[in-house]
Amino acid sequence: MKTLVAELCVALCFTAGMALGASSVHEFTMKSLDGKLVPLANFKGKVMLVVNVASQCGYTYQYEGLQALYVKYRDRGLVLTGFPANNFGGQEPGSDAEIGAFCKSKFGVTFPMFSKISVKGSDKAPLYQFLTDPKSNPKTGGEIQWNFTKFLVDRNGKVIQRFEPAVEPDSKEIEAAVEAALK
């Protein structure tokens, strides 16, 4: 019953954010891997890198670079948020518990990880509806093409840049964008 109530609350929070014409990622509440509701408003004042992740993808090794980026900049105000998704080739088949165990044991992930969601299609999570909406985010909108697409969000919850999967977390492009957002 507690799980059902939590899921209903998350669904209502998602719907409310979209129905009100969300203008910031801070308007969404997401469920963490351990089942707790996390208002993204908790990250106000921080720069966020929002990434759709998968455990069995050719880009899964990027967890290592994402963790290193997080460690390098977290004390300056960067938070990474991982959103597992099984939209591309069934590359994230595990449960939330399995995903969490994999990320910790294989890559030492300590950044916030969230419950598995859909980032594409008719069941796309409202957060990703917002992130990919060309009206809300004209410079960064458009459908997610694959795992490890990265959205850089400023301290006010506005999407400021998008990086496609092939752009490595330790690339000069991402580091320069993070540095600029942290200033």
pLDDT, one tens digit per residue, over 78-136 is: 999 999 999 999 999 999 999 999 999 999 999 999 999 999 999 999 999 999 999 98
CA–CA gap between residue 43 and residue 80 (Å, rounded) = 10
CATH number for the domain spanning 27: value is 3.40.30.10
pLDDT confidence of residue 1: 54
Tokens encoding 114: 């969230």
How high is the pLDDT of residue 16?
Answer: 41
pLDDT over 90 at 8, yes or no: no
In this model, does residue 5 exceed pLDDT 70? no
Over residues 127-165, the pLDDT tens digits come to: 999 999 999 899 999 999 999 999 999 999 999 999 999
Task: Tell me how crowded residue 147 is: count the other CB atoms within 10 A of its CB.
Answer: 26
Q: What secondary structure, in 3-state letters, does 108-140 show?
A: CCCCCEECCECCCCCCCCHHHHHHHCCCCCCCC
Q: Which one of 9, 13, 57, 103 is the catalytic residue?
A: 57
b or e along 51-65 (b: 16 or more beta carbons within 10 Å of the residue's beta carbon)? Answer: bbbbbebebbebbeb
pTM above 0.75, yes or no: yes
Mean pLDDT of the chain: 91
pLDDT greater than 60 at residue 171: yes
Beta-strand (E) ranges in 1-98?
29-31, 37-39, 47-53, 78-84
Q: Are 104 and 73 in contact (CB under 8 A)?
A: no
- Smallest CA-to-CA distance from 30 within 159, 125, 169 is with 125
Let me know if 57 is a catalytic residue: yes
Domain that holds residue 77: 2-182
Whole-number pLDDT of residue 21? 79
As a whole number, mean pLDDT of residues 161-175 equals 97
Higher-pLDDT residue of 14 and 42 is 42
173: CB partners within 8 A, 6+ apart: 163, 167
Number of domains in the chain: 1
Residue 158 is which amino acid? K
pLDDT of residue 2: 52
CA 98 to chain CA centroid, nearest Å: 18
